[in-house]
Structure formats: C-alpha cells, structure tokens
Amino acid sequence: MEARLREKLEALTADHQRLADTMATPEVAMNPDVYQKHARKYAELSDLVQAFARYQREEEGLREAQRVIRDETDPEMLAFAHEEYDRLKVSLEGREEELRLLLVPKDPNDEKNTIVEIRAGTGGEEAGLFAANLFRMYSRFAEIRGWKIEVMNSNPTGLGGFKEVCFQITGDSVYSLMKWEGGVHRVQRVPDTETQGRIHTSAVTVAVLPEAEEVDVAIDPNDLQIDVYRSSGPGGQSVNTTDSAVRITHKPTGLVVMCQDEKSQHKNKAQALRVLRARLLDIKIREGADARAEDRRSQVRTGDRSEKIRTYNFPENRVTDHRIQLSLYKLREILEGDLDDLLDALNVADRAARLAEQD
C-alpha cells in the first residue's frame, strides 16, 4: 500500500476514535442533536475503519509468513508458510481495492427519502398504462425493502393508467437506490388495443428527487402564487365539491406544482410545498453537477431527464439499461419489483467511475 493511502486511512481511524471518545462525554451524550451529528459521522467511518483493521491483521500475517520462510528449516512449516504467504498476498490486493472504494465520497443525499414523479410521454394511452406499470413496479420494490409509499398527486386515465403520478418513498437509504431510476423509460410491446399485433414503442419519464428539508431549501412566501380549485378525476369529471386542490407557482423559477389527492386543502398545500422544495433542491444539485461535468471522465447518471436510460421489450422478455449496456431477460420479474440486479450493477459502475476519477 502506498504511503499516502496509508496515512489517510490512519488519520480517518484516529478521527473515528476521537468521535467515539467525544460521544462518551456527558456534554455530548446529553445533547441529542449534537450526539446524532457525531453518531452519523461515526457510522459513516465505521465500515472503512473495520476494513482497514482487517487489512492490518492480514498484513501482520503476511509479515509473519515472511519471517517463517526466512528462518524456518522444517519442510512442512515452510510449505505452510509459502501457502499462507500466497493466500494473504492475493487477499491484501482485494482488501486494498475495497479500501479505495470505501474512500470514494458518498452522495450526501443517499440517506434521504425520495419523491418520484412518473409522467406518460409519447405513446398516448399506452404510455399512461406503462406509467401505471412503473408505479406498481416501484410500489412492489418499496414493499420488498420495507419502505413506505404515499401518493401525493395523481392524474389517472380512463383505462387504468396515469397521465402522471407523484409519490413519496420513505425508509432506509431510499435515494441511494432510487436515484438510478431518473430518465426516460421506453416500452416496446403490443398494446391491448392493437388489433394487428404490431409492436408499439412508448415512453414514460421518471423524475427522482431527494426530499428537501427547510434547512436545505428556503422558500420565500412572497415568491409563491397559490391557487385553489376543485379536484377532478379521469375525463375531467369533478370528484370533490370543495376547492381542496392546490396549485403553487414558484415565481422566480416558474415551477408549478399541483396536488389534489387529499380531501383537505391544507394537506394538499403541505404536499405541494414538499414537492416544490424537492424540485428546487434538485435544481441546485443539477447546477452543481453541471459545474463539475467537465472534470468527469465518465458518468453513469448524467441527470439528463431526456436521456433514454432503459428499454422494456415485452416480446423478448428483456430489460436493457443503456447506461451500462446491461440486458436482463427477466422483464416480468423486474416489473414485479425485482430491481436488485439492475441497481447493483449501476452502483458498481458508478463507484468504479468515481474511483477512476480519484486516480
């Protein structure tokens, strides 16, 4: 291991111990906010520190094997020492790679809850039906992982699809996985309404936004135009006799958010503000990403919502992620929420790209 890497790991190990000592002091232990701040940092460093400790133990084992090879004369002991030396040499190379990956900075939004917006694109009613398929896919994925889904706004179609649906997912590290889903999802299949058996291509846009706290994004009430109206269902028919639906326009950016699924105007307003805050944070994140883009050697997630990220081909039972050129022939399982293979591959590719940037 190169000296610079070792020094960095030793410094982080010392920081980890200092955090443990600080958290044990009465002043910090009695202050929940300060304690939680230190506890989060401590937890972030724990995997790295434990991995470095394993590396050091194997490194000591390698030195012991070298000592036996140098001093021992017994053939059996020598054979064992050579075998142990070869094993540890290979293992240490893997340990060092693991440590380098753990040193890659984490996305600060990974632990956040997430707001997802699905909108039907090209393809008319078929796109709306596929939007409903994606909503069900993410609902099943959330259920499998023990996350909770709350629909914030929806605009259903008459055939059971969605023109758009907006929902929040809450749970452990939601954004770290869901962030890979933002972009254009293309479907190729024979619609139920197709009498000639022809395959149609439709598209659905998915936006994935980390939920923003007030500390992340401050909104000036004077920048908001708030309108109320009666909510409507498929075909435009009224489903509520009171003005409970809310439309908020953010004047500086022109962003418009509408919420109508709750019966209470107050609840719809609160939902709309949460979505607006998430969209504003998303703009801030994208601006920072654009500023760094020229320095990047490669990217898995470009953040461009016009980018076609995935194709779902029903005749071939195939799902292809175009960012990493990965095709899986398990479309039906994926639509039932089995996204692990896709998301794991995207995470690995992203970490490898970010590791290359550090070299």
pLDDT tens by residue, 28-46: 999 988 998 899 889 889 9
Residues in the chain: 359
Nearest to 350 by CA among 298, 309, 307: 298
**CATH architecture of the domain with range 3-102:** Up-down Bundle (1.20)
> Quick one: pLDDT band at residue 102, thresholds 50, 70, 90?
confident
Asked if 131 and 208 count as a contact pair (C-beta separation under 8 A), the reply is no
Q: Is 101 exposed, middle or buried (0-12, 13-18, 19+ CB in 10 A)?
A: middle
Percent of the chain, pLDDT > 70?
89
DSSP 232: B
Would you kindly state where each structural domain of the chain is located, as residue ranges?
Answer: 3-102, 114-354
Residue 303 pLDDT = 42
> Percent helix, strand, coil in the chain (nearest 5)?
50, 20, 30
Of 228-237, 275-284, 309-318, the poorest mean pLDDT is in 228-237
Q: Distance between CA 243 and CA 259 in Å, rounded? A: 12
How far is Cα of residue 240 from the mean position of the Cα atoms in its chain?
36
Q: Which residues contact 236 (CB under 8 A, 6 or more apart)?
A: none
CATH number for the region 114-354 comes to 3.30.70.1660
Residue 145 pLDDT = 95
pTM score: 0.70
